[in-house]
Amino acid sequence: MNIEELSKSQLILLTILVNFVTSVATGILTVSLLDHAPAFVTQTVNRVVERTIETVAAAAPAAIIQAPAPSNQDLVTAAIGADAARAVAIYAADTGTSTPAIAIGTYLPKSRAIATAAQDALPKEVLVGFTDGSYSAASLAHEGSGIAIYGFADKTVLPKASSPILIASNELRLGETALALSADGAAATGIVARVSEKGIHTTLPDIGAGSAVVDLSGNLIGIGAGVTPGLLISADKVTSLLTATSTTATSTAAAK
């Protein structure tokens, strides 16, 4: 049969056959040569083979070792730690820290803003206390849908902290873990029980108005409404106000 008449599959099989026969012949020839070779040559070849096997065997386990996946407890403690680092106390600007905090909120580093639950007693000018012990003046930037957003002056130096992702309510799953710190600093765990037009219903206890609730990744699910225990104002409303604030600020700058 003419080799040019072979199909692609037949050519591949023929190539494999030739390689197999060649490797067998090479092995037989090598063994025959070693049988007639001096002793020191045989010893050298054996040592090279042994060293090669030892090197491969030692490197193989290291290649397959993987870092253990974090446990659920590790995820919980890390998420609560991130939540705690962003928790802030809000004081009235005219009295400062001489009086108790009027509200608690969560720091959103990427937006340079503070989000809290809107209350009738919230003033327009406040003093924000961060977990590192620093204080910064802030002004009410936007308010609506039960949320108040405070912003800082451009030159204000703010603490560094991880920026949470604001989780949309339609991305939440029933039974998803919800973590929070109450107004007195106590950690609380629960689950997302229901999502409705009124907000996000969880099994969390009364954590206080303005307390941030996060998932296992430390991302913001919502903010305590302070009306019904476990009821949260969704992070969607925070996102809407932040967008509105940015748009208003841009329009004002353009007008100037």
- pLDDT tens-digit map of 144-160: 889 999 999 999 999 99
Task: Look at the block and give the residue holding tokens 């996060």.
Answer: 214
- Model-level pTM greater than 0.85? no
Domain total of the chain:
1
Report if residue 121 sits inside a domain.
yes
Chain centroid to Cα 135, Å, comes to 27
Report if residue 104 sits inside a domain.
yes
Query: Which of 187, 165, 186, 190 is closest to 177 using CA atoms?
Result: 190
Report if residue 132 sits inside a domain.
yes
Q: Report yes or no: 86 and 132 within 8 Å, Cβ to Cβ.
A: no
Give pLDDT, residue 249. Answer: 40
Q: Which residue has the higher pLDDT, 28 or 103?
A: 103
Q: How far is 246 from 256, CA to CA, in rounded Å?
A: 16
Report if residue 130 sits inside a domain.
yes
Q: Report yes or no: 87 and 180 within 8 Å, Cβ to Cβ.
A: no
Query: Which of 198, 93, 96, 107 is closest to 150 using CA atoms?
Result: 107
**Phi, psi values for residue 102, rounded to 5°:** -90, -15
Report if residue 140 sits inside a domain.
yes
Q: Report yes or no: 142 and 149 within 8 Å, Cβ to Cβ.
A: yes
**Phi, psi values for residue 87, rounded to 5°:** -70, 135
Report if residue 126 sits inside a domain.
yes
Report if residue 115 sits inside a domain.
yes
Q: How far is 170 from 185, CA to CA, in rounded Å?
A: 29
Determine the length of the chain.
Answer: 256
State the pLDDT confidence band at 1, using cuts at 50, 70 and 90. Answer: low
Lowest-confidence segment of 42-46, 54-58, 60-64, 210-214 by average pLDDT? 60-64
Mean pLDDT for the stretch of residues 215-224:
95
Report if residue 45 sits inside a domain.
no
CATH code for position 137: 2.40.10.10
Chain centroid to Cα 245, Å, comes to 25
In this model, does residue 247 exceed pLDDT 50? no
Query: Residues 172-182, buried b or exposed e (16+ Cβ, 10 A)?
Result: beeebbbbbbb
Domain that holds residue 152: 82-163
Mean pLDDT for the stretch of residues 130-147:
93
Neighbours of 167 (CB within 10 A): 22
Residue 166 has what DSSP assignment? B
* CA triple 226-227-233, angle to 5 deg: 65
